[in-house]
A and B are shown apart, each in its own frame.
Chain A
Amino acid sequence: MSTATAPQPQSNYLNEESSLRSWLLTTDHKRIAILYTLSITFFFLLGGIFALLIRIELLSPNGMWVSDETYNKLFSMHGIIMVWFFLVPSIPTTLGNFLIPLMIGAKDVAFPKLNLLSWYLFMAGGIFTVYAIIAGGVDTGWTFYTPLSTGYVNGHVITAATGIFIAGFGTILTGLNFIVTIHRMRAPGMTWSRLPLFIWSNYATSIILVLATPVLAITLLLVAVERFAHVGIFDPALGGDPVLFQHLFWFYSHPAVYIMILPGMGVVSELISAFSKKRVFGYGYVAASSIAIAVFGFLVWAHHMFVAGISVYAAMVFSLLSYMVSVPSAIKVFNWTATLYKGAIAYKTPLFYAIGFIGLFTWGGMTGLFLASLGMDVHVHDTYFVIAHFHYIMVGGMVMAYLGGLHYWWPKISGRMYPEAWGRIAALIIFVGFNLTFFPQFILGYLGMPRRYHTYPPQFQFWHVLSSAGASILGIGYLLPLCYLLWSIKHGEVAGPNPWGSTGLEWRTSSPPPTHNFNKLPVVTWEAYDYSSVPKNREEAPYA
């Protein structure tokens, strides 16, 4: 329909149909993105409740509130929910689903029905896992190490593993859809060298999703069969080898760390460019570093196993390879900084998150180098140092990028602006709360506080109390966007097609976009982040 002169409200993907059925059976990638956003918000809150209980318990050295068994279940369920039901799907299934077709100028992903199936698989997996929680929980840790998980614990291991197995196929299909979409659905003129960096990072993520997730699936299948049939594929008492489980598990779970950070890097590239009004410095290197991280990410898994009895020569090779991953990561950080240099910087909320990401990711990455070095790793292995390190990447990195991206694209998704002042306040609260929560954990870990313990020597209490206090601030910081973003759907200022003056194709159609994204076929004649190609009038949507 022609919208150039049509009065508001125009027909868009949100208001075209409104029945529940039209949402549950939708094949529109934008609506599926909304379904995913609601689902992962639920899982984020659920995982957050477990984190809250952990921090309350750790306020006192003697373990006052819950038993050690309950405590084991709390951190296990926190890990399982947060890793598989929030972090892995977070940006790809929400912002990725919403933006990839829009950014490359396609009407939808290549396989829209498969896209909907992904969401149903994700929800089915989620239901299994939530059932495992309600029925009594799992206390193996999120890693399901054998033979603990197969022979010694009483929790609902098979149910939880089934949930992860099913949800895993959902993410595999998402990755498959993205790869084919990016290869085959680009608009005329949208060459590989003109793709936004968000697309490059999601492409790299999809490769990992497709190649690593099936290995986790088969590993969990073997764990379930071993537990069910008492055959010892990983149990040394029955002829198996528990280290093989660790190899298989980390062959997925280390690349999965990059599933959890690469999309965030893509978001940050977009934000840095949009709020400094400059082309990303070293575009080609930033794009290639995403692919390099995906490739190197497959070759470093055994750095989780330096103390598991692997050969010292293997450990040295894996240590060296782990150092090499920092090279493409550093390329990104340097190039983002160089992009900001002498840019026309606008201090909007998304940029707060992007700058927070760069700082926290750098800290998380640098402490990762401590853990990649053999001697240091033996000292801090399985301590709070490791906890702090990966929370700096996962929470300080990925969650910051997710929130930054959500704010930046909110006008496109909802058609309304979020309240800017509240946005900045929340971003600052989250940054302060995050550091107060996790920085003390570096110190705790270095001093010798092991992970997964609910009692500790009294001299650690000061740092634990600091961390718990920080967690309460962080919690408030996360609740604020939830409130004001929901408020803004009805009451926010109406957003035009391109409120930020950005360059991407998604900003050249109306906000919210029509059902098939573009009413006029886009033809791309400009390079990525070419601000001279943006229409001067921000109310103009050339392809709407």
Chain B
Amino acid sequence: MPSHPESAVERSGAAQVAIQFDNAGQQRVAANMGMWVFLSTEVMFFGGLFLSYLVYRHMHLNSFIAGSNDLNFWIGTINTMVLLCSSFTMALAVRSAQVGKNRALVLLLSLTLVLGLVFLGLKFFEYWQHYEAHHIPGPGFVFDFPHLHHLASERGVELFMFLYFVMTGLHALHMLVGVSLITWLIIQARKRAFTPAWHNPVENIGLYWHFVDIVWIYLYPMLYLIDLSKK
């Protein structure tokens, strides 16, 4: 986290250059590159799960369809829309920071925050439904999936639900981190911390937010849309 002097008067671009950098331009490209390298780590982190998903979907296809068709299609779809909208408002927020429109920045970040919270709310409602139905993998798991029941196996469906919880759970964890970071951005933006010359945190947290969004763009069809014709 960059350090923040208390006085708003000091918040010119030059005041924000850390000691190890020669100028604000070098600091900006370094911070930006750091975020991209971090995202490449994140891609590999989720990559291990995507590989596991591919292997087990191949091994237990009918069970995966059974598990998929039992998920709440409408919540998944609405959540996809919500996240896409939040990426749009985030992109506009970054633009506002670049051109120095601080009121628009605060407004758009707040919209992004609200959309992120809506996503998380719907997600936890969905988890609660799974909990009520005893579809949490583990000793209490109940195998009563209505679709393709004759072709699916209990172990296969349990694996699907396991991957569903780990993948969406890690995604939700990333959303929680993102929501916290955006809250921090809003507080800073209200203090007029960001200028067209220096708004690295807005750009980098924006990148992070888009990444988390893209992960969901893959998760949605992989988990909710395997084969709706069997529903």
Tell me the A residues contacting B by CB distance below 8 Å.
106-114, 172, 176-177, 179-180, 183-185, 210-215, 217-219, 221-222, 225, 229-233, 238-241, 244, 247-248, 251, 516
Contacts and interface: CB of A to CB of B under 8 A. Distances in A.
A241 B48 contact: no
Contacts of B156: 239
B110 to A, nearest CB: 28
A140 B33 CA distance: 39
Contacts of B121: none
A180 B156 CA distance: 43
Contact of A232 (B46, B47, B159): B159
A108 B18 CA distance: 10
A180 B36 CA distance: 10
Given A106-B20, A112-B20, A113-B1, A248 B48 contact: yes
Contacts of A107: 19-20
B137 interface: yes
A210 B41 contact: yes
B195 to A, nearest CB: 22
4 A-B pairs closest in CB distance: A239-B155, A214-B45, A218-B48, A108-B20
Contacts of A241: 55-56, 59
B37 interface: yes
Interface string B50-63: 01100110011000
A280 to B, nearest CB: 28
A114 B20 CA distance: 13
A232 B51 contact: no
20 contacts: A106-B20, A107-B20, A113-B1, A114-B34, A180-B33, A183-B30, A184-B30, A185-B30, A210-B40, A212-B44, A218-B46, A221-B166, A230-B139, A231-B158, A231-B162, A240-B56, A241-B56, A244-B51, A248-B51, A248-B52
B153 interface: yes
Given A219-B48, A222-B52, A238-B155, A214 B41 contact: yes
Contact of B45 (A112, A183, A217): A217
A111 B55 CA distance: 38
Given A180-B37, A215-B45, A516-B20, 10 more contacts: A108-B20, A183-B33, A185-B30, A212-B44, A215-B47, A221-B166, A233-B159, A239-B158, A247-B51, A251-B48
Interface in B151-178: 153, 155-156, 158-159, 162-163, 166
Interface of B: 1, 18-21, 26, 29-30, 33-34, 37-38, 40-42, 44-49, 51-52, 55-56, 59-60, 137-139, 153, 155-156, 158-159, 162-163, 166
B162 A214 contact: no
A230 B138 contact: yes
Q: Chain A interface mostly helix, strand, loop or mixed?
A: helix
B19 A231 contact: no
A225 B159 CA distance: 12
A184 B45 CA distance: 25
Contacts of A238: 155, 158
A271 B20 CA distance: 28
Contact of B138 (A215, A217, A231): A231
Nearest to B156: A239
A465 B163 CA distance: 50
Contact of B20 (A110, A219, A222, A248): A110
A183 B19 CA distance: 18
Contacts of A221: 166
B19 A108 contact: yes
Q: Which of B41, B155, B159, B163 has the most CB of A within 10 A?
A: B41
A180 B20 contact: no
A325 B163 CA distance: 35
A109 B19 CA distance: 11
Contacts of A176: 34, 37-38, 41
